Amino acid sequence: MEITSEIFEVGGGYLTSPEDAAIYLIKFGHESTLVDAGCGQAIEKLFANIRKCGGDPHMIKHLLITHCHYDHTGGAAELKRRIGLEIIAHELDAPFLEAGDNRVTAADWYGAKIEPFRVDRKLTGSREDIFLAGRKIEAIHTPGHSPGSVVYLTESDGYKVLFAHDVHGPLNPSFLSNRKDYNKSLKILLDIGADILCEGHYGVYRHKTEVAAFIRQFINE
C-alpha cells in the first residue's frame, strides 16, 4: 500500500502473515529502510512486496525496530542473514532480543521462540537521528508499552510521517510495561502533530485530526 510516493506498507496481516504487525518501507532515492520485521514466517512475500514498490531487498540499509515484541521482531534474524542490514533498536529493549527472552518479547503469546540476534546500533537518548540518503529519520524514545519503545519521525511529500507501533498498548507486567511512562509518551506523540500515523496494528491515519483522535483515546491517567 502506497502511503506517500516514498513510503509503503509492505507487510502485516493480509500482506504477509496474519501474525505480523505492520512492516513499512521507506525509500529515499536509492536507499531504503524497513520499520519492523514481522514474525518472519513470510520473508519471500515481504521481499516480493518490496519489489512491487520499486525497492530491492538487498539495497535495504537499516531495520528500525519500534520495540522488542515478537510480532515486530521475529523476522529480524532471518532478514539479517539474507540481506545484511543494520539492526537499530533502543538499548532498553536490546537485551531481550539479544538473549532471546521469550517472555518479555511476547514470543510465548504466539507459542513461538524468538531467535536471538545482535542489535548493531543501540539508541541511547530520548531523541537520536538516523540518516537515509542524506535525509533525517528521528528516533524518539517513548517508553510505556515496553521499556525501549521507539517511534520514528520523518518527512515525505511535504507530510510529517510518524511510525508509532502499538500506540494502543496493551500494557502487561510480562512486557515490563509502565502506565505512567505510557501516558507521558502518548502526550509526546500528540505534541508531534503528525500528518500521517503509520501504526502497527490499526492501519494508517492520514490527517492531523484523525491522528490526534486515535492517540488521545488511549490516554488514561
Handedness of CA 12, 158, 139, 171 (dihedral sign): negative
Pinpoint the alpha helices (H) of 16-131.
43-52, 70-73, 76-83, 94-99
Query: Is 77 contained in some domain?
Result: yes
DSSP 3-state of 51 = helix
Number of domains in the chain: 1
**How much is the pTM?**
0.96
Whether the CB-CB separation of 66 and 149 falls below 8 Å is answered with: yes
**196 inside domain:** yes
Residue 221 has pLDDT above 80, yes or no: no
Answer whether residue 13 is part of any domain.
yes
CATH number assigned to the domain comprising residue 165: 3.60.15.10
Taking only the tens place, the pLDDT of each residue in 138-183 is 999 999 999 999 999 999 999 999 999 989 999 999 999 999 999 9
Helix (H) or strand (E) holding 156: strand 150-156
Residue 154 within any structural domain of the chain: yes
- Whether 1 is in a domain gets the answer no
pLDDT above 80 for 2: yes
Residues of the chain above pLDDT 70, percent: 100
Please compute the mean of the pLDDT values over residues 201-219 and round it to a whole number: 95
Tell me whether residue 89 is in a domain. Answer: yes
| Residue 220 banded pLDDT, cuts 50, 70, 90 | confident
**Is the pLDDT at 95 greater than 90, yes or no?**
yes
Would you say residue 2 lies in a domain?
no
Q: What percent of the chain has pLDDT over 90?
A: 95
Establish if 36 belongs to a structural domain. Answer: yes
All 3 cell numbers of residue 30? Answer: 536509492
Domain span holding position 209: 7-216
